[in-house]
Amino acid sequence: MTATDLTEPRTTPVLEVDDVHKTFGRDEALRGASLTVAAGEVVALTGPSGSGKSTLLHCAVGLLAADSGVVRVLDRDLGTMRDADRSRLRRREVGLVLQFGQLAPELTAAQNVALPLLLERRSRRAAFAAAEQWLERAGVPDVGDALPGELSGGQQQRVAVARALVTQPLLVCADEPTGALDALTGEALLGLLLEVGAETGAGLLLVTHDNRVAARADREVVLRDGRTSAGVVA
Ligand code: ADP
Ligand code: MG
């Protein structure tokens, strides 16, 4: 496959990153990174440690502003949006799983999962019913009342995946979601992300340095020194 395929998705793109640059001080983390994720597509983003994978993911979801280049989520240009609109778009349409859960420590597991729906003014009843359902699907049906600090790393990551999926986002971005987990938990969570993506037609961007994870993707994009190219998968 050729590099141009990166910008020519099969169907409607849910994420388009075009020639993004991002510098931290003198450190050029991204020097022309581009990728596209189509609806229903699973894209693995791989590359050596320090190549800019997390920076690219953070720019893709608007947690970091790109210095130049364009990022579009569901056809909306993040660079020209107001902060509040960008936050709302991320909360409604993007499911984010970071490497280490990132749950709110003062909230119970169920409150963490219900929170995105409560912020969307869904009723408490609906939000907590959905939270219970997603905790069950993520394989932790009994942890709803526990605080994150009372859970194991694997349980916390399962809760984080439940929280990412509870809004049924059209774009799911996960940064090494299984990196810190034992093989069985990692496999279960990866399986859940792929299954839900296939069910809902969400696009999935999976940052990973695990070849077995990359092999499950439709397409692989490789980052090296802040530049993207097409990988060997697909
Ligand atoms: P990866 O996820 O592929 O390991 P990162 O995106 O974390 O790579 O990092 C890419 C480069 O950007 C590294 O040189 C890293 O030190 C630098 N970097 C990332 N985030 C920051 C930050 N918030 N401040 C300063 N430098 C950063
Ligand atoms: Mg990283």
ipTM: 0.98
200/33 Cα distance (integer angstroms): 27
Specify whether the CB–CB gap between 146 and 108 falls below 8 A.
yes
The predicted pLDDT at position 118 comes to 96
Distances (CA, A) of 206 to 49, 81, 227: 15, 25, 17
Query: What Cα–Cα distance (Å) separates residue 79 from each residue in 20, 21, 38?
Result: 11, 13, 20
Hey, is 198 helix, strand or coil?
A: helix
**CA 225 – ligand 2 centroid, Å:** 13
Provide the total of helices (H) and of strands (E) in the chain, helices listed first. 7, 10
- Ligand 1 atom with the smallest distance to the CA of 25 is 25
- Spatial contact of 185 and 158, defined as CB atoms under 8 Å apart: yes
User: Considering the entire predicted model, what is its pTM?
Assistant: 0.90
Residue whose token pair is 């999962």? 113
In a mutational test of the pocket of ligand 1, which residue from 20, 54, 206 has the highest number of ligand atoms less than 8 Å from its CB? 54
Per-position pLDDT tens, the chain of length 234: 444 455 455 578 999 999 999 999 999 999 999 999 999 999 999 999 999 999 999 999 999 999 999 999 999 999 999 999 999 999 999 999 987 768 999 999 999 999 999 999 999 999 999 999 999 999 999 999 999 999 999 999 999 999 999 999 999 999 988 877 888 888 888 999 999 999 999 999 999 988 888 999 999 999 999 999 987 654
Helix, coil or strand: residue 66: coil
- Nearest ligand 1 atom to alpha carbon 56: 6
* Helix segments in the chain, DSSP class H: 53-60, 83-93, 109-119, 124-137, 153-165, 183-200, 211-214
DSSP 3-state of 45? strand
**206 vs 98: CA distance, rounded Å:** 10
Best CA proximity match to 14, nearest among 75, 77, 69: 75
**Which of 24, 28, 67, 100 has the most ligand 1 atoms within 8 A of CB, as the residue to mutate?**
24
The pLDDT value recorded for residue 30 is: 98
Ligand number nearest to the C-alpha of 63: 1
Going by alpha carbons, the residue nearest to atom 20 of ligand 1 is: 55
Per-residue confidence (pLDDT) for residue 1, from 0 to 100: 45
Task: List, chain by chain if needed, residues with CB within 6 Å of any ligand 1 atom.
Answer: 24, 27, 29, 47, 49-55
